[in-house]
Amino acid sequence: MSAPIKTPAAETLPRPAGLAGLASDWASDQRAFKHVSWGKAMMWIFLLSDTFIFGCFLLAYMSARMATTVPWPNPSEVFALEIAGAHVPLILIAIMTFVLISSSGTMAMAVNCGYRRDRRKTAILMLITALFGATFVGMQAFEWSKLIAEGVRPWGNPWGAAQFGSSFFMITGFHGTHVTFGVIFLLIIARKVWRGDFDTERRGFFTSRKGRYEIVEITGLYWHFVDLVWVFIFAFFYLW
């Protein structure tokens, strides 16, 4: 006969009651947290909370658009540009979308090179990603200045429903702020990668342990989230 299996002493302890029991259960979830660093777990929690915020913004936009009795401006006309005498609808928005989606590809390659400890390629790809992001923000600034010059304000616009201006500036402004912070974060991490901080264990606020480039992946999680949110903004705000 086989010997009886001994239960560890920790497993025989009674479960605490109330909030202490809830905290104990959450802290002992080995499947969820055993192989995940705190940095990555906290980024996922932040992105989850940001998802709710963007979701509320888009739901508010859809509610305002469906509830208003005033005609809603036609995005194909509002966001059109005059190029060589031709009226081209949504051309700037299409370029902005292409630039931002392309940046997800360079960011994914940067994460790959980071885990292969290819310091030079990782830094270069992160800089290219930051350049894409800065280009996107620059084009968004041009879009804002064009619409402001045409009379769009948070409280009204010359094409119809007054809610259009407030929805546009709130949603695109909040997303553009995320892209701007992402560009700054990319530049900081790219500089540290280029200097070899993660190889030499140089001290710093964002420095991880020697040989670990996980911070590049965490930066990538944030950047991919920003790109994904833009896909929804593009679909709901510019194509609807």
Residue 198 lies in a domain: yes
Give exposure, 180-218, as e/b (b: 16+ Cβ within 10 Å). eebbebbbbbbebbeeebbeeeeeeeeebeeebbbbbbb
The domain containing residue 165 runs over which residues?
A: 37-238
CATH number at residue 222: 1.20.120.80
Residue 23 lies in a domain: no
For 115-129, how does the pLDDT look when each residue is reduced to its tens digit (9 = 90+)? 888 889 999 999 999
The percent helix, strand, coil of the chain (3-state, each to 5) is: 70, 5, 25
pTM of the predicted model as reported, rounded to 2 decimal places = 0.81
For 159-177, how does the pLDDT look when each residue is reduced to its tens digit (9 = 90+)? 888 888 889 999 999 999 9
Residue 21 lies in a domain: no
Rounded mean pLDDT of the chain?
83
Quote the CA–CA distance of 137 and 177 in Å, as a whole number: 9
Number of domains in the chain: 1
Q: Classify 76 as helix, strand or coil.
A: helix
Q: Is-contact 122 192, C-beta < 8 A?
A: no
Residue 74 lies in a domain: yes
Confidence of residue 7 (pLDDT cuts 50, 70, 90): very low
Residue 142 lies in a domain: yes
Q: In 23-166, where do the E strands start and end?
A: 81-83, 86-88
Residue 109 lies in a domain: yes
Quote the CA–CA distance of 146 and 142 in Å, as a whole number: 6
Using alpha carbons only, give the angle 65, 231, 80 rounded to the nearest 5 degrees: 65
Residue 200 lies in a domain: yes
Q: Is the pLDDT of residue 208 over 50?
A: no
Quote the CA–CA distance of 94 and 84 in Å, as a whole number: 18
Predicted confidence at residue 31, as pLDDT, reads 53
Residue 209 lies in a domain: yes
